[in-house]
Amino acid sequence: MQIVKLLLLNVLFLVSYMLLLPLHIGLFACNSILIIVLAVMYLKREKQQKTRTFQALLDGLRNLQDGDFSFSLTENHQQYNDEQQHQLITLFNQVTEKLREEKQSLYQRELLLDKVVNASDVVTVLVNHRGTIIFANLAAQQFLESSMLLGKLWIQVLEQQMPDLLQHNDKHNGIIQLLIKEELDGVNRSADAVNDKTEQSWHLSRHQLKLHASSHELILLKPITKELHQQELQTWKKIIKVINHELNNSIAPISSMCHSGLVLADRLNEPQLNRVFNTISGRIKKLSEFIQSYSQLARLSIPQKTNFNIVKTIEQFKEAYQLEIISSKPSIEINADEGQVEQLLINVFKNAKELSPNKPIQVNLSIDESALHINIRDQGPGMALDVMKKAFLPYYSTKKEGSGIGLSICREVIDAHHGKIALNNHPEGGLQVMLSLPLAKE
């Protein structure tokens, strides 16, 4: 287009030259000056257009360099009447649009990844080659009890917040045991209780990776205590089923033979045989009761959840176990298996009653946004720390006639309802059992 316009000016000059010279020199001179002025103005205008185009491109590239992909150049055929300039502007806008879409897509993926990582219960920490923390998810902040981890040295954080983990700093993959403060949200715990720690199992793994040509280390800590408990419980259930099957097959004929022996002893009038067979029958009855109590753990089914008023459920045990019930609301709806929750409460109330038979049991109910918290405290002597650590193990009991099944059933019921259970000694005396169960959905 520019060449065509310049050719037209040259043709106009040649025509004036042929028509005006040599008779009209003055008119030719004026015409020549006018043509020169038009040419200069046109060239100046073209230069200004190119300058504006290059300046716009320069500004756009600077914005791209600063990470701003929202910038685009105006496509105006009157302003950019040169076809090449127009193509250049169009191509620039297409490139920025593609970069903008890719950046938006990358931002969405990063946002999703950030939400997934922060929603996970796996402690995730990324450390650079200097040993400085450059990323820590919410689980890591809660685990290390600090929201200001970025920029700190990983070793120093471990020394201050988690010295137990420091001794495993040379391990790259394996299961470790750590003493962790176990707390239930929304439950009022005493100062001494906060200092109580429970041994928990964690899977530790370390991964070396390159980021921006620099060495980094990704540290992952996954809590596996609940999974190990579930696996242990399933193993015990299988053992119980096998033992029950074998013992029942043996008890039935022995019981029948004892009955026949008692009948024969009565006919022969032999008191000594009567005592023998009665003793055997008594032991068989005790063994049957023993098997029956242990089989409860194996028979626990998947909870059939419904909405019901937990306050009303607890109040039905008020007289039997001397309960002092304190509730933030007269009616609290939870979503759970009512029969299993009743069995859970009976086991806890029964243990509390055995520890303080002539004193009331305090039951405190409170709620937060999503869960019900029940604090059950007896007035007994409390529980030794070494016993507390083993309290939820199947068949572990300090009672002479205890089966060690009650608290194991409690923990399985709580786990099946995605709740929490914890024990601690109250500073004023007595044992506290803290339960957490999900509220009913509106």
How many CB atoms neighbour CB 182 within 10 A? Answer: 19
130 Cβ neighbours under 8 A, 6+ residues apart: none
Of 329, 337, 336, nearest in space to 439 by CA: 336
What span, in angstroms and rounded, lies between the C-alpha atoms of 31 and 18?
Answer: 12
Three-state DSSP state, 333: strand
How many CB atoms neighbour CB 232 within 10 A? Answer: 14
- Residue 80 confidence class, pLDDT cut points 50, 70, 90: very low
Q: What is the model's pLDDT at position 194?
A: 40
Q: What is the model's pLDDT at position 185?
A: 46
- Mean residue pLDDT across the chain: 81
Strand 173-181 relative to strand 323-327: parallel, antiparallel, unpaired? unpaired
What span, in angstroms and rounded, lies between the C-alpha atoms of 418 and 201?
Answer: 18
CB 216 within 8 A of CB 126: yes
User: Exposed, middle or buried by CB within 10 Å (0-12, 13-18, 19+), for 342?
Assistant: middle
Angle at 184 between CA 180 and CA 187, to 5 degrees: 135
- Neighbouring C-alpha atoms within 13 Å toward the C-beta of 212: 2
Task: Write phi, then psi, for 173 (nearest 5 degrees).
Answer: -160, 125
Q: What is the model's pLDDT at position 21?
A: 63
How many CB atoms neighbour CB 185 within 10 A? Answer: 11
Task: List, for residues 123-139, the tens digit of each pLDDT value.
Answer: 999 999 999 999 999 99
What span, in angstroms and rounded, lies between the C-alpha atoms of 107 and 97?
Answer: 15
Looking at the predicted structure, is the pLDDT value of residue 43 above 80? Answer: no
86 Cβ neighbours under 8 A, 6+ residues apart: 75, 77, 80
What span, in angstroms and rounded, lies between the C-alpha atoms of 153 and 403?
Answer: 49
333 Cβ neighbours under 8 A, 6+ residues apart: 307, 308, 309, 310, 439, 440
CB 333 within 8 A of CB 361: no
Task: List, for residues 340-370, the tens digit of each pLDDT value.
Answer: 899 889 889 998 998 888 889 999 999 888 7
Q: What is the model's pLDDT at position 275?
A: 81
Q: What is the model's pLDDT at position 304?
A: 87
Task: List, for residues 403-425, the tens digit of each pLDDT value.
Answer: 556 787 788 889 888 888 888 88
CB 128 within 8 A of CB 216: yes
CA distances from 181 to 91, 193, 200, 421, 427 (A): 60, 9, 10, 13, 17
For helices 25-65 and 2-20, the axis angle rounded to 10 degrees is 170
Give the residue with greater pLDDT, 353 vs 17: 353
Q: What is the model's pLDDT at position 150?
A: 92
**Peptide bond before residue 22 is cis, with ω within 30 degrees of 0:** yes
What span, in angstroms and rounded, lies between the C-alpha atoms of 180 and 160?
Answer: 14
Q: What is the model's pLDDT at position 78?
A: 45
H/E stretch holding 364 reads: strand 361-367
- Residue 67 confidence class, pLDDT cut points 50, 70, 90: confident
Place of tokens 């015990």: 236
- Residue 398 confidence class, pLDDT cut points 50, 70, 90: low
What span, in angstroms and rounded, lies between the C-alpha atoms of 143 and 164?
Answer: 12
Q: What is the model's pLDDT at position 316?
A: 92
Place of tokens 């869960």: 371
- Percentage of residues in the chain having pLDDT higher than 70: 84
Q: What is the model's pLDDT at position 281?
A: 82
Task: List, for residues 217-275, the tens digit of each pLDDT value.
Answer: 999 999 887 777 777 767 777 777 777 777 777 787 888 888 788 787 777 777 787 78
Q: Across 52-56, 97-101, 330-334, which has the greatest mean pLDDT?
A: 330-334
Three-state DSSP state, 121: coil
CA distances from 346 to 130, 275, 296 (A): 56, 37, 14
